[in-house]
């Protein structure tokens, strides 16, 4: 063989790995916001709830591949190669996101935490969602609600944009007023729940 540069290759693999992961997380916005927990041992994740119900998740494997023909190899530049890696990363991110959405949908269906009666996203739907979701408050401060992230499909983005552009000042103020009323109630529930946590005899 012609001598190789193994350490340099190793470094390159590391850099490529990082680029792939960045591409994956860029295409998996929900996943990138989710809490990361490292599995140090074992092959199952179990979760028990206060009502005693528990479930076990087995780990899922995600894989993607790239192929480079010998003709492509002749003229392959580093930029071309990185582009392929990023495409692969994006696909893996898509798989991760898909897996997460499936898991969420199953969970949501089980819990019944669904709002119905809205053909598309609207102010009413947003308010109804805010009403249903548990909301925490940073430092228990009413003025610092930790609002949930809204994840929508790409087809909903122009709908939301149109909705916001069409909104008048009065409609915006009314929306805020109604949202604040919901947050007032949420804060009250939140503080009541906090105070309910205690040691009893």
Nearest approach in angstroms of CB 148 to other proteins is 16
Of 49-68, binders to other proteins (CB under 8 A) are 49-50, 54, 56
Q: Does 39 bind other proteins (CB under 8 A)?
A: yes
Q: Does 99 bind other proteins (CB under 8 A)?
A: no
Q: Does 43 bind other proteins (CB under 8 A)?
A: yes
Nearest approach in angstroms of CB 139 to other proteins is 6
Q: For residues 97 and 29, is the Cβ–Cβ distance under 8 A?
A: yes
Could you give the 3-state DSSP secondary structure of residue 134? coil
What CA–CA distance (Å, rounded) separates 153 from 160?
Answer: 11
Of 10-29, binders to other proteins (CB under 8 A) are 18, 21-22, 25
What CA–CA distance (Å, rounded) separates 194 from 13?
Answer: 49
What CA–CA distance (Å, rounded) separates 117 from 147?
Answer: 23
Nearest approach in angstroms of CB 81 to other proteins is 20
| Number of Cβ within a 10 Å radius of residue 53 | 9
Nearest approach in angstroms of CB 180 to other proteins is 23
Residues for the chain: how many in total?
201
Binding test (CB under 8 A) with other proteins, winner from 11, 29, 45, 176: 45
Helix (H) or strand (E) segment spanning residue 75:
helix 70-75
The residues binding other proteins (CB under 8 A) are: 18, 21-22, 25, 32, 35-50, 54, 56, 136, 138-139, 193-201
């Amino acid at each position: 063989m012609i001598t190789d540069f193994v350490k340099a290759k190793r470094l390159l693999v590391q850099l490529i790995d990082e680029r792939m992961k960045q591409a994956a997380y860029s295409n998996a916005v929900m996943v990138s916001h989710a809490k990361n927990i490292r599995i140090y041992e074992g092959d199952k994740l179990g979760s028990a709830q206060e009502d005693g119900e528990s479930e076990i998740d087995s780990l899922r494997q995600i894989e993607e591949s790239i192929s480079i023909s010998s003709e492509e190899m002749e003229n392959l530049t580093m930029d071309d190669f990185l582009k392929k890696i990023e495409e692969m990363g994006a696909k893996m991110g898509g798989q991760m996101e898909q897996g997460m959405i499936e898991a969420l949908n199953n969970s949501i269906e089980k819990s019944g935490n669904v709002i119905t009666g809205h053909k598309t996203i609207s102010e009413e739907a947003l308010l109804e969602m805010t009403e249903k979701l548990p909301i925490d408050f940073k430092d228990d401060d009413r003025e610092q609600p930790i609002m949930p992230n809204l994840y929508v499909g790409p087809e909903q983005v122009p709908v939301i944009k149109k909705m916001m552009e069409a909104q008048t000042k009065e409609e915006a103020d009314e929306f805020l007023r109604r949202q604040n009323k919901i947050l007032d109630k949420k804060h009250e529930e939140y503080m009541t729940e906090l105070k309910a946590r205690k040691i009893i005899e």
